[in-house]
Structure 1
Amino acid sequence: MELTDIRIPYIVPAAFFVVALLIKLPTLRRAFRDPNVRSTSLMMFLATLIFLSIAPTSVHRINTFIGISNVAAPWTYSLLTAFGGCCLSMLITWQDGPGPRRLRRTRRVWIIHAGIIAALWISFLMADVPSERITDLDTYYATTPWMREHILLYLLAHMASAMAAVRLILPWVKELESAWLRMGLRLLQAGYACGLVFDVSKLCALVARWFGTPDWDFLSLRIAPNFALLNGILVALGFILPQAGPFLRDRWTDHATYRRLRPLWQLLHSIDPSPVPIRVRHFSPLPLRLMRRQTNIRDGLLLLAPHLDDQRRGTAFHAALEAGYKEHDARGTAGAIDILVAVDLFRTATRPEGGEDSAPLSSDLISVEPISLALRSPSRIEAIRRLAENRKSSHTDG
């Protein structure tokens, strides 16, 4: 394999975590004291460094930049060890509430993993590994003193970290009510399972080399890297999903609501409702823009309140039901018809019967999304409006 070969499987997850980390930075600045935010940010940072470091071209560049042959090995293994410690720390933070127990457990995790990282660098510096190996370092130096221990240490540490995480997850996942957290833990289980396949594949190739059998090198060179990629991606997603999922769901809901309210907002904006003392720009946060749109609609409806008519709305509602519409859609269509008539009356300055003492805004106009959606179908509104007029005429004649 040439060093200039592009490894898309490494580039794609690295790019994903770079973007995720950039999105997370504002939250990190605002809530740096939150251990969940800190741990998630550190986890994404480590995942990014790992995927950027394990590509063959990156391995060669790290060795060349530092000027020590194969120094990319302890660098990458240290990142993997720190990533495992970060994941265990996050699981403990999720499970335990604030208090000395959580602090004691997370501190123990970091002390152990820091000791492993120190041992990795010591064993590497004591090993004699002059020949740069880009993809087959583990098997090539499997019998080299100190490098043998170095490789074995990182594999056993990675396996122990994964097994400890699974031990924390298994009894906990059955008790959860949060669907997002449950999905996240399922991803973690799948990720750690891939990690164990990676470890076993590497260990089998390593032991085979100890016994003088290079025939199993394919486990380390072809099988293990794929499961390493899956391990990193699934574990990182497992920690990101429980936090990003609810945020993305709420953002999607707000965006859908904002879009659905547009027809009603445009109609009421045409009668110039009272301005709201909030400066909202086009690139303002979506929740702020949604609040402004909802407030404009409410102000517009209050302005139209003297012209709205419960009886007109009720007649249109029953006409829509007779036309085969479901109750939810019938109420939205009836509200849209009533508001359209009220807008015409407002524009012509026609006084409604009852004058200033007309009833305030009716409660069935509070749910405005069905009304706004109905306004997207003028032909349907016109058809129901004619049916309502015919219904009213027939009742009057009767």
Structure 2
Amino acid sequence: MAIFNLIYLSCGVVGLLLLAYKIRALRSSWGSPRVVALIATVFFGSFAVLFAAPANVTWINWVSGVPNFAVLIVYGLVICFAGSAYALVLYWRYPAAEAWHRVRLIIVGYATVVAVTTVLFFKSEIDEERQTDFDTFYATQPTVAVYLFIYLVATGIGCGGQAYHCWQGARDEAISARPWLARGLRWYCVAALFPVAFAVIKLFVLMMDWFGERSFDVLSLAAPLMASLSMIPLVIAMALPVFGPRRPSPSLWVRRWRTYFALRPLHRALVHVNPGIVLVAPGKFLNPHHRVRRQIIELNDWRWALTPYFDLSVGEAATSLAHQASLPKDEVAAVVEAAQLRAAGSSGRSKPAKHRPASEIVDGTDLAAEHDRWVRISRAYQHSPIVDAAVADAARVGGMD
């Protein structure tokens, strides 16, 4: 029983948190049929799962004083969930006026189902409380059998309709052009398949019980657990269209970390120029976009601080050696810049050099180009023999002077 309580209560709490978030996020849109249908779907689904926990079943039966009253509550919530989920996807796929012609049939139909199942429940002889095996224990009682059949068929139709329309909607040309929305609809489809599978399994077990075959009753106990897990893809489905477009692609995330580690040696080599400007914002330590942005800002600041100490002879030597090596234009610029930074950063900077470079490298205006430029400089700073030779040559000449 403990595992049943854990799963049901956990999924129910997740649903309630999602409900609270949706109510807060959509409070300005109250009155919209889509919003009402969405809130109703999350509300009925969350409380159906929460009240299905054995601990809550015992409490509901005790408070009501009616044996198995929790069954009526939970099954009624599931029926309402199926109907509201079906209505929701119709509002998503069609204009409000067109969808309303179908939605009002759903409202009337599912309200009728709730009324009929309520009458059947109170007409049944179910005096013995059954917390986990109500369906199989009372399956052969005619009024309970009809009650269960109507409940399961209504659930299967509603959630099956949700799955169908979500899948078809994700393939619509207008929606497929918005990939995060299409992904969200596919996850809604997945979420709907859980209660559909639940209804199919329950119907199968119910029919087997009618024919006296009880060996499948264990499936009836597992089916509700599976249905409760639909809350997980439901949360994903609601989150993807909202948060997906705000998140960078995984490939960009990986590229940013690669840029960070490519720049890190140069960043550490120049940090002594002004360590006071190094900053990692709170909560951004594992954000590669923030870390690279700060690296670029700090490297540019240190570069301009070192500019007065750049020596023309270092730049000329690095340029000459780079041309002799037939390096591409971008690599020549990176080697020259790295040599200047190496020489200026290790010079002690007691006074500015007498000679400034004839031309200075201008920071790139494009973010990607700026990243690439600094990565080339960092690699040249670490590994280029031309940088080593140019700096060594300038030091030798300076020593002779």
1:200 aligns with 2:200: yes
Moved more, 158-167 or 298-307: 298-307
Displacement of 1:341: 4.4
Hey, what does 2:13 align to over in structure 1?
A: 18
Tell me which amino acid in the other structure corresponds to 2:93: Q
Q: What is the correspondence of 1:45-56 to structure 2 with a 5 Å cutoff?
A: 45-56=43-54
- Equivalent-residue separation in structure 1 for 2:84 and 2:268 (angstroms): 50
- Equivalent-residue separation in structure 1 for 2:52 and 2:14 (angstroms): 19
- Equivalent-residue separation in structure 1 for 2:149 and 2:347 (angstroms): 81
Displacement of 1:74: 1.7
Displacement of 1:269: 7.6
Displacement of 1:68: 2.1
Tell me which amino acid in the other structure corresponds to 1:18: V
- Counterpart contact for 1:129–1:141, Cα < 8 Å: yes
| 1:286-342: CA deviation from partner (whole Å, max 9, x where unpaired) | 99x9679847844862684593899899889989997xxx999x7997598378449
Displacement of 1:202: 1.8
**Structure 2: gaps of 5 or more residues:** 394-401
- Counterpart contact for 1:271–1:347, Cα < 8 Å: no
Displacement of 1:158: 0.4
Tell me which amino acid in the other structure corresponds to 2:3: R
**Structure 1: gaps of 5 or more residues:** none
Moved more, 25-34 or 130-139: 25-34
Displacement of 1:227: 4.3
Which SS does the other structure have where 1:121 is aligned?
Answer: helix
Q: What is the correspondence of 1:222-241 to structure 2 with a 5 Å cutoff?
A: 222=221, 224-225=223-224, 227-229=226-228, 231=230, 233-234=232-233, 237-241=236-240
- Counterpart contact for 1:321–1:327, Cα < 8 Å: no
Hey, what does 1:361 align to over in structure 2?
A: 363
Moved more, 153-162 or 179-188: 179-188
Which SS does the other structure have where 1:215 is aligned?
Answer: coil
Q: CA RMSD in A?
A: 5.4
Hey, what does 2:138 align to over in structure 1?
A: 141
Tell me which amino acid in the other structure corresponds to 1:6: A
Match of 2:113 among 116, 119, 122: 116
| 1:206-225: CA deviation from partner (whole Å, max 9, x where unpaired) | 234444x1425526535534
Match of 1:76 among 74, 77, 94: 74
Which SS does the other structure have where 1:74 is aligned?
Answer: helix
Hey, what does 2:89 align to over in structure 1?
A: 91
Tell me which amino acid in the other structure corresponds to 2:214: D
Q: What is the correspondence of 1:150-299 to structure 2 with a 5 Å cutoff?
A: 150-175=147-172, 176-211=176-211, 213-218=212-217, 220-222=219-221, 224-225=223-224, 227-229=226-228, 231=230, 233-234=232-233, 237-249=236-248, 257=256, 263=264, 282-283=282-283, 294=293, 297-298=296-297
Displacement of 1:360: 4.3
Q: TM-score, normalised by structure 2?
A: 0.66
Hey, what does 1:350 align to over in structure 2?
A: 352
Tell me which amino acid in the other structure corresponds to 1:350: P
Match of 2:61 among 60, 63, 71: 63
| 1:245-300: CA deviation from partner (whole Å, max 9, x where unpaired) | 4445569967985996594888888656999xxxx96259999x967984784486
Match of 2:28 among 30, 33, 44: 33
| 1:74-100: CA deviation from partner (whole Å, max 9, x where unpaired) | 221122223223432442343346x53
Displacement of 1:204: 2.8
Displacement of 1:30: 4.4
- Counterpart contact for 1:81–1:117, Cα < 8 Å: yes
Larger Rg: 1 or 2?
2
Which SS does the other structure have where 2:156 is aligned?
Answer: helix
Displacement of 1:73: 0.8
Displacement of 1:159: 1.2
- Equivalent-residue separation in structure 2 for 1:238 and 1:336 (angstroms): 49
Q: 1:65 to 1:256 in 2, by over 3 A?
A: farther
- Counterpart contact for 2:256–2:292, Cα < 8 Å: no
- Equivalent-residue separation in structure 2 for 1:340 and 1:19 (angstroms): 54
- Counterpart contact for 2:184–2:240, Cα < 8 Å: yes
Q: 1:370 to 1:356 in 2, by over 3 A?
A: closer
